[in-house]
Structure 1
Amino acid sequence: MDAPNDACELGLDIDVWLTFYDEITDEALLARLRSLLSEDERRQEARYHFADDRKRHVVTRSLVRSVLSHYADVSPADWTFSANAFGRPQIAGAQAGKEALRFNVSHTRGLIALGVTRGRELGVDVEHVSARRIGTGIAEHFFSPREAAALTQVAPERRQERFFEYWTLKESYIKARGMGMSISLDQFSFHFPHPGAVRLEMQPELGDNQARWSFWQYRPARDYLLAICAERLGGQAPRVRIHKTVPTVAVESLTLALLKSTEPIAE
């Protein structure tokens, strides 16, 4: 599998790798991917009851391992991982400082998204927007009052989509912070001042600054939404590059229409 050119220059770029794991049906390939996993990761696979969950686990873990090896001279099977105090996976052991790499992974029914960057915090979230029906009560429980109120003003036929526009952005921010659900979802709000624009607002008690973050939202395929949150370094927003891959086999660059992104920050 060929790596993208100039992969993730320090402080400049984000690569997002997409794998539609339902497309992987070759048992021999799945066996090869499984061989890259650690013993603990294989034990985790065995704990899943459903075949789809076991397959997703194998593809996710092998995707992380094989993709990270594009950015550092480490074999896929040699990467080691740990979790921070809030449970976010991170590179561990002798590879922990390799090339200042950061990664974040998300999965939903049929699709895995892996974000990789250097030297900045990063969060990604992908959701299948029609996998389950969402009621306004969920928004009232998890969203800020402003977001929940705005959702009720959306036409009923658009409300499901708008819910996941909010949800993926909020999840990407929480994942970039690396603090899990210790961050209350109602302490920060997204709103869309005009088509294609995202604006983040937060309460002072969150202890953060909205100018620190950039956001992007894409549609990787019908019924999916992808959100990316990345730390701005020196006030400069990074480029985002998106790739579709079958781990260890093939990679192609994708040009996806940008649905929304952060408005330029006034100096």
Structure 2
Amino acid sequence: MEIIAVKVDSEIEHSLYIDLLKNLTKEKQNKLNKFRNKKDAYRSLLGEILIRTEIMNLTHIKNHEIVFEKNSYGKPKVMKIPQLHFNVSHSGDWVTCAIDRSIIGIDVELIASIDYGIADRFFSKQEVVDLLTKEEPQKLNYFFDLWTLKESYIKTDGRGLSIPLDSFSIRKTNEVIQLTTENPLKGVFFKQYEIDDLYKCSVCALNNQFPPIPRVQSLIDTCNIFLNHINRIH
């Protein structure tokens, strides 16, 4: 299992951005070119090249041979490589990805003030009770603990928001995370990573072989590693 995090804390030189872009599919290029916000384009680009780099590294296939397909719920996977699973998440200044030999989900969120009425709409009754016992700032932190853990679970399942968020319950007591659900996906493991004091990052997987810390890369290093892999495999 690999967990990678990249901080979007600088601009990508235009010539480098063009070099990266031309190594993606026309569909992805068109999507990136439609972003009005440069940071949004960077986040989407970085998620793509992180996964492509790991696929090249793990399988030794060439970048132009990588083909993504989506399941009926929109979760992407690598065509003809069923043993490789991945998931990407980004928020604010961070792009994260998780790769494993079995289904996996990751979610990162910027901690920001929210209306706790959201919990009544999306959390289970037990989760709402647990949340309301907290005092600030623990209450806000616990909300984003639950939110990212729940998102990582539904992303692991692969059906996304077609799974009602109140159809399962997560409790976090100290470092112990427990799942209660009648959904088919049971027996999963969770881990949270502290990539930044202002963010929550949670991972859900079918095994507990989590790395102790994520691999943190700079934006520029991530871009250069991708291009170096392409040149080396060529």
TM-score (norm. length: structure 1)? 0.78
**In the alignment, does 2:222 pair up with 1:247?**
yes
Q: Which has the higher contact order (CA 8 A, sep 6+)?
A: 2
Q: Which residue of 19, 29, 46 corresponds with 2:16?
A: 29
**In the alignment, does 2:183 pair up with 1:201?**
no
Q: Deviations over 1:155-195 (max 9, x none)?
A: 022222111000000000000000111111111111123x1
For structure 2, the residue ranges without an aligned partner over 5 or more in a row are 227-234
Distance 1:32 1:126 in 2: 28
2:104–2:204 CA contact under 8 A, matched in 1: yes
**In the alignment, does 2:43 pair up with 1:56?**
yes
Distance 2:210 2:144 in 1: 24
The total of aligned residue pairs comes to: 222
Measure how far apart 1:219 and its partner are.
Answer: 1.2
Give SS of 1:37's match: coil
For structure 1, the residue ranges without an aligned partner over 5 or more in a row are 1-13, 252-267
**2:108 corresponds to:** 126
Give SS of 2:18's match: helix
2:4–2:215 CA contact under 8 A, matched in 1: yes
Distance 2:27 2:18 in 1: 16
Residue identity opposite 2:93 in structure 1? G
Give SS of 1:64's match: helix
**CA RMSD, 1 decimal:** 1.8
Distance 2:19 2:94 in 1: 20
Measure how far apart 1:142 and its partner are.
Answer: 0.5
**1:176 corresponds to:** 156
TM-score (norm. length: structure 2)? 0.88
Fraction of identical pairs, as percent: 26
Distance 1:74 1:21 in 2: 28
Give SS of 1:17's match: strand
Give SS of 2:141's match: helix
Give SS of 1:29's match: helix
Moved over 4 A (4+): none
